[in-house]
Amino acid sequence: MIRFDNISKRYPSGLEALKRVSFELEAGEMAFLTGPSGAGKSTLLKLLMLMERPSSGTLLINGKNLNRLSRSLIPSYRRQIGVVFQNHQLLSDRTVFENVALPLQISGYPPSETGRRVRAALDGVGLLGKETHNPLTLSGGEQQRVGIARAVVHKPKILLADEPTGNLDPALSAEIMALFRRFQSVGVTVLIATHDINLINSLDHRIMHLEDGMLTDDGAHSNGQ
C-alpha cells in the first residue's frame, strides 16, 4: 500500500532529513514510526501527505507513483487519506460537527449523507453528545478524538498520525491507540509517528526506527503477520 524506495529528502537549507529510506507497508498493516526529534519522522509523513516532495527516490501509494502527481491532483489525493495531527488542526470558529464534516463537504457529499457519516464518526470516538460544542471547550483528549473522527469520516484507506498522543496522559494515550487498532482491524493501513516508546512497546505492532534520517530498523520481522 505504501512503498518507499530509496527516498531522500534534502531541504534547501542543506539539511538532509531522510537518507535513502526504503520500506513497504502492506494494506491493512499498522506500524509505528519512532526515533528522536529531528530524525525525520515528520518529514516522512509530510512526503506521504504531499506537503513535501522527495529529493530522490520513488514513493508509491497503492502502486501509483506520487512523484508524478501534479500539483492540481494533490487535493483529490489528500481526500483519500486521513491524517491526525499532533496539534489537532481544528477550526475554532466552527462546531465539532462542522469540523468533522469538512472533508465530506470538500469532497462534495450530499448534506444528508454528511450528517449521517459525521454522527457515525463522532459516535465511534465517543463524542456524539458534543456535536454542537466548540473544539476549544473540549479537553486535549477530546480534541484529539475530534481530529481522529475528521481523519476517518470519509473512510480513508490510509490513516496517518503525527504524535497523536503527544500531549496526553498514559490512560488517554491508550484509548487513542485502541481507536487506531480498531481502524486497522477493519482494513485501514495505519502509520503512526510517535516517540512514546513505553506505549508502543506494550502493543504488538511493527515498529520502524528512524535515526538521523536513516531507517535503522525496518521492524518488518516483528510484524505480527
Rule CB under 8 A: which residues touch another protein? 1, 27-28, 49, 51, 61-62, 72, 75-80, 83, 85, 89-91, 93, 102-103, 105-111, 113, 117, 120-121, 123-126, 150, 152-157, 175, 178-179, 182-183, 186-188
If you ran DSSP here, which 8-state letter would residue 173 be given?
H
Nearest by Cα to 20 from 58, 47, 68? 58
Q: Which is nearer to another protein, 35 or 147 (CB)?
A: 147
Instruction: Report in angstroms how near the CB of residue 6 gets to another protein at its nearest.
Output: 23
> What is the enclosing helix (H) or strand (E) of 78?
helix 74-78
Q: Which is nearer to another protein, 56 or 89 (CB)?
A: 89
The 3-state DSSP class for residue 178 equals helix
Give the span between the Cα atoms of 195 and 38, in whole angstroms: 11
Instruction: Report in angstroms how near the CB of residue 10 gets to another protein at its nearest.
Output: 16
- Strand 16-25 and strand 2-10: pairing? antiparallel
The 3-state DSSP class for residue 103 equals helix
If you ran DSSP here, which 8-state letter would residue 50 be given?
T
The DSSP code sequence of 3-14 is EEEEEEEE-TTS
Instruction: Report in angstroms how near the CB of residue 103 gets to another protein at its nearest.
Output: 5
Q: Which is nearer to another protein, 161 or 215 (CB)?
A: 161
Q: Which is nearer to another protein, 20 or 155 (CB)?
A: 155
Instruction: Report in angstroms how near the CB of residue 36 gets to another protein at its nearest.
Output: 21
Q: Which is nearer to another protein, 39 or 160 (CB)?
A: 160
Give the span between the Cα atoms of 211 and 59, in whole angstroms: 20
Q: Which is nearer to another protein, 154 or 209 (CB)?
A: 154
Instruction: Report in angstroms how near the CB of residue 216 gets to another protein at its nearest.
Output: 27
Nearest by Cα to 191 from 207, 178, 203, 179? 207
Instruction: Report in angstroms how near the CB of residue 126 gets to another protein at its nearest.
Output: 5
